[in-house]
Structure 1
Amino acid sequence: MAERARQHSLAEWARRALRPAGQRPAAHHKLLLQRLEHVAEGGCDRLMVLMPPGSAKSTYASLIFPAWWLHRHPRSSVIAASHTADLAAHFGRGLRNLALENKAFLGFELQRDSHAAHRFATDTGGEYFATGLGGGITGRRADLVLIDDPIKSHAEADSAAHRDLVWNWYRSELLPRLKPRGRVVLIMTRWHQDDLGGRLLQNGDDWTVLRLPALAEADDPLRRRPGEALWPQWEDRAALERKRAVVGPRVWAALYQQTPRPDGGALFRVTRIDVIEAAPAELRSVRAWDLAATAAGEGRDPDWTVGLKLGRDAAGRIFVLDVVRLRGGPHEVADAIVRTARQDGRSVAVGLPQDPGQAGKQQVAWLTTLLAGHRVVASPETGAKLTRAGPVAAQVEAGNLSLLRATWNRALLDELREFPQARKDDQVDALSRAFAMLAQAPAPARRLHVSLMAR
């Protein structure tokens, strides 16, 4: 083809693709196009796009982008997944029509036997395959995986079994189809704190996240003022506020602001927790552990082993100084505990939970031997988790807890925010134990400054 040698930018292609419909990219679409082009150029291999319904995110990410991807990577393969086969076929049909109508601009044609809505091949060696969640993809490989709307309803989002199904399909079927140096783009509206986006963020994988709420919040990626609408030409603030009053706070927080919250009140008011740049010098500190001894693996989503370091000053204010999290077997956990204790120093007491029964006693005895020279405080967990967390939650309510700024802040704050409905509560358990240890120990003495004249 005459234009095959020329490569066009994604923004240029988007303007051309939208022109027949009399449309053009809004500000949030332009930002999305920049992030998608960054993926295509190799600058990012995991992109998560979180936007509200009606923001046209699928038009750009699931129709315009894959056509341009095959323009820039003519011999590559794309797998596109959605919550149902019908939706996947809908995207595939739209993409196929775009490619047919713009073959000279894109530089490829569809092979003559490519008639299905959900799959086609190009004359340059490219392939596209669309599938619904759980659909068979065995034997296929992908340079690009697109996941658009993996959840279709609140009923699915609220079902733990369905969330597990989505997660396991992503981990065990879809992700293994990715070629080395392949890329994944997830486009979704958040439904639940434990949906696919939530699990991926909680799992510790390195994702670039583009989160654009319907009404702007602080530090908005588009530099909107707080409260400004995402796409005022389509739906202004007044219309969004009217919708907000009808859908209620839970739906609004999830679908429109992309910050899903548990159904019901959370115990910890995280808005009262401040983040500080440096901790006071005079602190009495402890490190409490919540233990799990199962490594992550196929079909498993085990708890985390968490070691949380907590300090208290002479005035009684408490500070979370450090959080260590790992998933591993018993020996990996033991090595982490010993290594962390050496880093903390012998002035920091080590708190360990003791499981009931002889095995729990033997585990504590073994760890105590490894921690020779350190003060070890071991005790069984008693009472419900909510009861154990109550005292430290009261400190949070009083605005008496601070975090030392670090990379672990977000994971801890997310878990505190969602407790007791959170999928994991290992950090909360470690925090509760650490606070109980500090509550039983005397506060550090205040230094007395005595003048020479008073001597």
Structure 2
Amino acid sequence: MVYVNQSILEASICQDSFYDFVQRFWDQIIPEKPIWNWHIKYLCDELQQMAERVFKRQPKEYDLIINISPGSTKSTICSVMFPAWLWTVDPTICSICGSYGYPLSLYLATKSLDVMRSDKYKKLFPNVLFKKSKMEEMSNTMQGMRIATSTGGAITGKHGHFIIVDDPISPKDITSKVTMDSANRWIDQTLLTRMVDRSITPVILIMQRLHQNDPTQHLLDKPEHGKIRHICLPAVITPKVKPRRLRGDYKYSEDIVEKAEKFCFETFSQTKEEYCFEKDINFERGQFVDLMIHHGFFADRHMDPKRLPFDVLCQAKADLGEFGYSGQFLQDPIPLGGGLFKVSRITIDIPPNKMKQRVRYWDKAGTADGGAYTVGALITEDLHKRIWILDIVRGRWDAHEREQIILNTARMDGRHVVVGIEQEPGSGGKESAQNTVRHLAGFRIRVDIPRGNKLQRALPLADALNGRNVYMVKASW
């Protein structure tokens, strides 16, 4: 009978698989029970694939950019576990790890050291011996190093086999062009000059998207940086998912399934079981949600249904607003501020049956042959807070024609639709609004006296539109 040393076997398993290493050392630094979503293994395998070439000192195939939501274990995988695993295979490896602030960089270095100084790590990898060193420059007796730095920091005389950049910008600094430019310049002029061998050392950038000119976009827009593999994992399924094949790994969260069952009962007065029995069909839970979507229910498939379910994302959107949520969770940063309506982000679709209050809002102009248009937009919101543009009436008319068009449109819309009229400043604007109100006697009317400038008033819709939350019916207009 052959006896196998259990420690040697476990060490070999960890060396052969970074994902197995993460699983076996998780409890050494994190007390909470792990949730092994599919993306964790995927990212581990991607990092290991890059590392295998470095171990052999082979030329790199590409640099790597990973865009993923906060709370997805990205830092634990890339900045804490990965440098610790590298030494189990090759203790001579030097990793340079940087984040937006020194306290964060030091925290991640401390967590990585906790892994390597655990009794389990010492038992499985006794050849990894530490030298006395500062936390920001950990080293072992085989000349391997883990160097911690922060955005803007100097790295004098040190070179890395891996350059790992984990969140180079803080969300609170995204409005500062100086900070954005400084981070991009630091990556270009400092980090990219700190490679053991430019042909071998890969750059790994892990971050949530924050801005249209953040380091992710900066590197993607500069072909001189060389080939880049871009992994993009929005919290919910969108066209931004890269590689595209990963869309198949997105699933509905449990709270979405429960809401779909409630929608089924409210729409058809039947439970899911009753509905499926009547239709003589047997649906899996995900397929049942797909069917309810066909009937007007709104739902997205999630990258991590347990960590980031529907309710958690709704709260994140409420906390961050359209701008923050679109960048940090959808990995699709939108312009901060007005004047930049990305009309390509309007979704053309069939509206659901159930809607909230419909409003026909008019922006009036008074010239018939030229100049500005008079526009009346019929808008509403569905039960899932999506904004719908249902109809547009637009033209250049004189005052008499304009008032008749507004009246005829109100008759066609019906008395259940609220008519919104903007009252322009000054006595002329007030008189024009009052004239329209008289013509619309018997209809529900709201006179809107705008506050603030047009830019400020446009921002909420701009954020919603750029955040892909504005929908439009297909029509000739």
TM-score (norm 1): 0.56
Secondary structure of the structure 2 residue equivalent to 1:145 = strand
Residues 24 and 249 from structure 1, CA distance in 2 versus in 1: closer, same or farther, beyond 3 angstroms? closer
What is the distance in 1 between the residues matched to 2:145 and 2:303?
34
What is the distance in 1 between the residues matched to 2:147 and 2:218?
25
Deviation of 1:63 after TM superposition, in Å, equals 0.7
Identify unmatched segments of 5+ residues in structure 2: 54-59, 252-298, 348-461, 467-477
Count residues with an aligned counterpart: 275
Name the Cα RMSD after superposition: 2.9
Contact 1:71 1:107 in 2 (8 A): no
Matched, 1:38 2:57: no
Deviation of 1:178 after TM superposition, in Å, equals 1.0
Deviation of 1:3 after TM superposition, in Å, equals 4.3
Residues 109 and 84 from structure 1, CA distance in 2 versus in 1: closer, same or farther, beyond 3 angstroms? same
What is the distance in 2 between the residues matched to 1:64 and 1:222?
26
Matched, 1:28 2:39: yes
What is the distance in 2 between the residues matched to 1:19 and 1:92?
17
Secondary structure of the structure 1 residue equivalent to 2:203 = strand
What is the distance in 2 between the residues matched to 1:228 and 1:76?
39
Superposed counterparts of 1:7-26, under 5 Å: 7-20=15-28, 21=31, 22-23=33-34, 25-26=36-37
**Map of 1:167 onto structure 2:** 184
Deviation of 1:24 after TM superposition, in Å, equals 5.0
Which residue of the other structure, out of 182, 189, 195, is the alignment partner of 2:201? 182
Secondary structure of the structure 2 residue equivalent to 1:250 = helix
Contact 1:81 1:88 in 2 (8 A): yes
Which residue of the other structure, out of 147, 151, 166, is the alignment partner of 2:169? 151
Matched, 1:237 2:255: no
**Map of 1:216 onto structure 2:** 237
Contact 2:235 2:308 in 1 (8 A): no
**Map of 1:269 onto structure 2:** 343
Secondary structure of the structure 1 residue equivalent to 2:66 = strand
Secondary structure of the structure 1 residue equivalent to 2:190 = helix
Deviation of 1:248 after TM superposition, in Å, equals 1.8
**Map of 2:351 onto structure 1:** none
The Cα offsets for residues 325-379 of structure 1, whole Å up to 9 and x where unpaired, read as xxxxxxxxxxxxxxxxxxxxxxxxxxxxxxxxxxxxxxxxxxxxxxxxxxxxxxx
What is the distance in 1 between the residues matched to 2:302 and 2:127?
39
Residues 46 and 107 from structure 1, CA distance in 2 versus in 1: closer, same or farther, beyond 3 angstroms? farther
Identify unmatched segments of 5+ residues in structure 1: 274-416, 422-455
**Map of 1:207 onto structure 2:** 228
Residues 8 and 103 from structure 1, CA distance in 2 versus in 1: closer, same or farther, beyond 3 angstroms? farther
**Map of 1:141 onto structure 2:** 159
Secondary structure of the structure 1 residue equivalent to 2:187 = helix
What is the distance in 2 between the residues matched to 1:94 and 1:19?
12
The Cα offsets for residues 142-184 of structure 1, whole Å up to 9 and x where unpaired, read as 1101111101123x22211111111111111111011221111
The Cα offsets for residues 352-411 of structure 1, whole Å up to 9 and x where unpaired, read as xxxxxxxxxxxxxxxxxxxxxxxxxxxxxxxxxxxxxxxxxxxxxxxxxxxxxxxxxxxx
The Cα offsets for residues 32-55 of structure 1, whole Å up to 9 and x where unpaired, read as 111111111236441111111111
Deviation of 1:185 after TM superposition, in Å, equals 0.7
Which residue of the other structure, out of 74, 82, 88, is the alignment partner of 2:91? 74
Secondary structure of the structure 2 residue equivalent to 1:142 = coil
Contact 1:18 1:24 in 2 (8 A): no
Q: Which has the larger Rg?
A: 2
What is the distance in 2 between the residues matched to 1:49 and 1:85?
21
Superposed counterparts of 1:4-403, under 5 Å: 6=12, 7-20=15-28, 21=31, 22-23=33-34, 25-42=36-53, 44-101=61-118, 102-114=121-133, 116-154=134-172, 156-180=173-197, 181-204=200-223, 205=225, 206-218=227-239, 219=244, 221-223=246-248, 224=250, 227-263=300-336, 264-266=338-340, 269-271=343-345
